[in-house]
Amino acid sequence: MPPKALFHWSKEPLTVFLTNAPRFEVHTQGRAWVIDKISKKKGATSRVTATSLVVFREQAAGLFVRHPLLSWLGWKRIFGQWWSKDLYQDLVWDASDAFQCGRVMVVRRARFADINDPVRLAEQKTKRRRIVAGELAGIPLLVLLVTLAALVNGVFTARINAWLFSLLPDVEESTAQTIRATGLWIAAAAISALAISIYLMKIVRQPNSDGSKWDVEAELKCAMEKADKAQAAEQRRNSSGR
């Protein structure tokens, strides 16, 4: 069950979405990405300078699912990231289902549509293949690092240790110790690099054109109120039509 609202911080201005045929074009592995709380700023894969905020609520929020945990970028789930259910699909909606205040837009209803640009579609498929290839290549590497770390900490019995190192004939004990230590350092470096990247790659709100602070919360409240009024009016029409 998705949250009541999901948020997408965009590097593009709202004018990209505010057309006669509004369209959210996917550019990241063929999916649209959102987060479940406006307060969350960490866990991105790049440093995003947000120019606008697109909010999906009601039926539109149901087009997303939580990022899978058992994947190469599964840590994104911990930071509240969701992605669109359908792969290689843009999101489109009617202009009457979107409500804007300043640089914030709230979308009540949306639907999937095929990517209408063959070049972008090919690019998305290539990016997706690279991620999948990375996941497949990363599995044996992860197993190797875990095994080396276990050896360093004496997790295995002496018999298993002897068997593992028998796979590397003519390796002296000093070399074996170096291999174990190197594995531990590699694992520690990988964890540190991930932590540093998560800290540095965060969402930053771009100030207004006059240099003043972007009051996202006020604009979000305004757009949500417009959407609430539309929802209430729709409910009254449905009730009177029964």
Burial class (CB in 10 A: 0-12, 13-18, 19+), 227: buried
Question: Going by C-beta distance under 8 Å and a sequence separation of 6 or more, which residues neighbour residue 49?
Answer: 11, 204, 205, 206
Pairing of strands 48-50, 89-92: unpaired
Pairing of strands 52-57, 104-107: parallel
Per-residue tokens: 79:
């930071």
How many beta carbons lie within 10 A of that of residue 82, not counting itself?
25
- Looking at the whole model, is its pTM more than 0.85? no
Q: Is the dihedral of CA 234, 236, 237, 242 positive or negative?
A: positive
Q: What are phi and psi of 91, to 5 degrees?
A: -110, 135
Residues written for the chain: 242
Burial class (CB in 10 A: 0-12, 13-18, 19+), 7: buried
- Cβ proximity of 54 and 8 under 8 Å: yes
pLDDT (tens digit per residue) in 22-46: 999 998 888 999 999 988 877 665 6
Per-residue tokens: 70:
């058992």
Question: Going by C-beta distance under 8 Å and a sequence separation of 6 or more, which residues neighbour residue 194?
Answer: 75
pLDDT (tens digit per residue) in 78-135: 888 899 999 999 999 999 999 999 999 999 999 999 999 999 999 999 988 887 777 6
pLDDT (tens digit per residue) in 166-207: 666 565 666 666 766 776 677 778 777 767 776 777 788 999
d(CA 194, CA 201): 10
d(CA 106, CA 132): 33
